[in-house]
Amino acid sequence: EIVLTQSPGTLSLSPGERATLSCRASQSVSSSYLAWYQQKPGQAPRLLIYGASSRATGIPDRFSGSGSGTDFTLTISRLEPEDFAVYYCQQYGSSPPWTFGQGTKLEIK
């Protein structure tokens, strides 16, 4: 089973600032099958990034993903008020189980 470790656990920033979230895998993620999701309180997760760097439909271009192998990053270039939420990474490679990181809470400073 691939274990995903996200850091930091909590990130405190102000609107307009740049956010950098990290996701590290215990072994290489095949074909860069790494996704990022955003979840707000009381809502379902929403897909932001798939294939490590491809934005999902309707996702603003301030969200970008990068990385390969075992190290991946989600960057939000200029934080908007609606971006404060919990973010999860997920690996969805060829074999289950498809695992999620423990989440990074992005909070307003």
Partner 1 sequence: EVQLVESGGGLVQPGGSLRLSCAASGFTFSSYSMNWVRQAPGKGLEWVSYISSSSSTIYYADSVKGRFTISRDNAKNSLYLQMNSLRDEDTAVYYCARDGYYYDSSGYHSKAFDIWGQGTMVTVSS
Which neighbouring-strand residues pair with 66? 73
Taking the C-alpha atoms of residue 93 and residue 87, their distance in angstroms, rounded to an integer, is 19
- Contact pick of 11, 84, 90, 106 for partner 1 (by CB under 8 A): 90
Q: Binding of partner 1 at residue 50 (CB under 8 A)?
A: yes
Site for partner 1 (CB under 8 A): which residue of 23, 63, 88, 106? Answer: 88
9-17, 18-26, 51-59, 68-76 -> range binding partner 1 (CB under 8 A): 51-59
Q: Compose the 1-40 pattern: x for residues touching partner 1 by CB under 8 A, - for all others.
A: ------------------------------x-x-x-x-x-
Check binding of 59 to partner 1 (CB under 8 A). no
Q: Which two tokens stand for residue 52?
A: 């490590």
Our measurement of the distance from residue 80's CA atom to the centroid of its chain's CA atoms, rounded to an integer in Å, reads: 16
What Å distances lie between residue 46 and 23, 50, 80, 109, CA to CA? 17, 11, 17, 23
- Token pair 């969200």 in the structure block, residue: 63
CA distance 88 to 10: 12
Residue 64 binds to partner 1 (criterion: CB under 8 A):
no
Chain residues in the site for partner 1 (CB under 8 A): 31, 33, 35, 37, 39, 43-47, 50-51, 54, 56-57, 88, 90, 92, 96-103
